[in-house]
Amino acid sequence: MSAPLPENEVIITGLLQRLAMLRGWSSRTTTSYRSDLLHADAFFLSHQSSLMQADSGAILAYLAELGRSGLQSTTIQRRRSALSTWFTWLQDQQLREDHPARHLPKLHKSRPLPKLMSERDVERLLASPETEDAVGLRDRCMLELLYATGVRVSELVSLRRGQLDLEAGLVRVIGKGNKERVVPFGEEAGRWLQQWLLVRPVQPPSPYLFAGRGGREMTRQNFWLRIKHYATVAGIRPLPSPHTLRHAFATHLLNHGADLRAVQMLLGHAHVTTTEIYTHVSRARMHDLVNRSHPLGG
């Protein structure tokens, strides 16, 4: 015969079942709420309180403990949301007069690390377009320039012929907030640009370096479909996002010893803290390399 449940757990489970029935929750949602609330109750009980009596100070202490435990911000936010739903319902049912979780400070979500694309996968992606026809040559040139400069896809598709200085190996980019920056590109991208300019259609007339159908500006969505197609052809999984080559540009530069401030300028980031996320990606890659390659790495 199994041991009886603690009194608090019985009360919480019973009240939660009523709440779930009123809100039409699935069994999975109900189980998730029960787990989160019982976790909180265990903390409160260890601090001379409970889920029924906890005040805002106890809740803040609980959230602080969750933060110190290294949980992802999404998990902390979910548990916080469960508490808010719980106390709202207790107040609605006149089981509590106050709502201790109503005016808690906002949580700052941690930024997810950008998806990392290896240098080998980048090479395979760049080599995927069939460059015998104009469309394939255009796409190869766009991919090369995207990886060579780290520009945003929106900046790439809006490039005009006058923004390109082929001799100097520079491209003038109009970024967010209409801010302008000049970004260099290497010889490989320069060779593909030379080839593209030789066959670039002049009819219908278009100011865009890489025009879409009818000479119009290509959309970000259309170019993303092109990237997705070439990644599929190259057998790259997971499929890259529109910003993957920009992320690869930054990460690979840092992997090869580039200065963080220089990468910030090339990417057009207003604050270096935005660029610093790539140092985490770079370090994560180095740890993975050690773990996979060192005899005692793992």
Domain boundary among 92, 111, 129: 92
For the chain, what is the domain count?
A: 2
* Six token digits for residue 266: 């090339």
Query: Are residues 33 and 85 in contact, defined by beta-carbon separation less than 8 angstroms?
Result: yes
* Residue 275: pLDDT over 80: no
Mean pLDDT of 104-126: 75
Give me the amino acid identity at 223: F
* Same-domain check for residues 81 and 169: no
Which domain CATH number covers 46? Answer: 1.10.150
Which pLDDT score is estimated for 160?
A: 94
Q: What type of residue is 30?
A: T
205 and 274: one domain? yes
Helix (H, G, I), strand (E, B) or coil at 46: helix
* pLDDT surpasses 50 at 241: yes
Asked if residue 234 and residue 148 are part of one domain, the reply reads: yes
Catalytic residue flag (residue 152): yes
115: confidence class by pLDDT, cuts 50, 70, 90: low
For residues 270 and 145, state if they share a domain: yes
Q: What is the pLDDT of residue 297?
A: 45
Grade residue 257 by pLDDT with cuts at 50, 70 and 90. Answer: confident
User: Which token pair is 113?
Assistant: 């690390």
Cβ contacts of 296 within 8 Å, gap of 6 or more? none
pLDDT higher than threshold 90 for residue 252 = no
Domain contains 106 = no
Q: Of the residues 176, 191, 261, 283, which is catalytic?
A: 176
More reliable by pLDDT, 110 or 270: 270
Residue 213 among the catalytic residues: no
Flag the least confident range among 20-24, 256-260, 284-288.
284-288
Q: Which of 157, 154, 146, 194 has the alpha carbon at shortest distance from 176?
A: 154
Contacts of residue 251, Cβ cutoff 8 Å, sequence gap at least 6: 114, 116, 278, 281, 282, 285
H helices of the chain, in order, are: 7-23, 27-46, 56-68, 73-92, 119-126, 134-149, 153-157, 187-199, 220-234, 244-255, 260-267, 272-275, 277-293
**Looking at residue 270, what DSSP letter applies?**
S
Main-chain dihedrals φ then ψ at residue 160, nearest 5 degrees: -110, 155
How many of the other CB atoms lie within 10 Å of CB of 27?
8
Identified catalytic residue from 152, 200, 247, 252: 152
pLDDT, tens only, 49-77: 888 889 988 898 898 888 888 777 788 88
Pick from 74, 92, 110: which residue ends a domain? Answer: 92
pLDDT, position 191: 96
* Marked catalytic residue, from 62, 147, 230, 278: 278
* Contact (CB, 8 A) for 101 and 84: yes
Catalytic: 246?
yes
Output the six-digit token pair for 44.
Answer: 């409160």
- The SS3 assignment for 152 reads coil
pTM over 0.75: no
pLDDT tens readout for residues 116-155: 788 899 999 999 999 999 999 999 999 999 999 999 999 9
pLDDT surpassing 60 at residue 212: yes
Quote the mean pLDDT of the chain.
83
Q: Which of 152-161, 168-177, 238-247, 253-262 has the highest mean pLDDT?
A: 152-161
Which member of 172, 181, 243, 285 is catalytic? 243
Q: 189 and 255 in one domain?
A: yes
Alpha-carbon distance 63 to 35, whole Å? Answer: 16
Residue 180 lies in a domain: yes
Return the structure tokens found at 68.
């110190």
Q: Is 109 a domain residue?
A: no
Strand-pair partners of 165: 170
Of the candidates 79, 80, 138, 246, the residue annotated as catalytic is 246
Task: With respect to residue 102, please indicate whether it lies within any of the assigned structural domains.
Answer: no
Mark whether 261 and 163 lie in a shared domain.
yes
Asked if residue 1 belongs to a domain, the reply is no
Residue 3: pLDDT over 50: no
Domain extent for 28: 7-92
Asked whether residue 100 is domain-assigned, the answer is no
The answer for residues whose C-beta is within 8 angstroms of residue 297's C-beta and 6 or more apart is 290, 291
**Within this chain, do residues 280 and 244 fall inside the same structural domain, yes or no?**
yes
pLDDT at 188 over 90: yes
Catalytic residue flag (residue 33): no
Confidence check: pLDDT of 289 > 60:
no
Residues 281, 181 share a domain: yes
The confidence score (pLDDT) of residue 157 equals 93
Q: Do 50 and 165 have their domain in common?
A: no
In angstroms, the CA 258 to CA 44 distance is: 49
Q: Are residues 60 and 154 in the same domain?
A: no
Same domain, 158 and 273: yes
- The helix/strand/coil state of 68 is helix
> Could you tell me the CATH number of the domain that includes residue 171?
1.10.443.10
Q: Is the pLDDT of residue 114 over 60?
A: no
8 A C-beta contact, residue 41 and residue 8? yes
CA–CA dist 130, 151 (Å, integer): 23
**99 within some domain:** no
Residues 78 and 208 placed together within one structural domain of the fold: no
- Given this model, what pLDDT does residue 287 score? 44
pLDDT at residue 125 in the model: 95
Q: Indicate whether 283 belongs to any domain.
A: yes
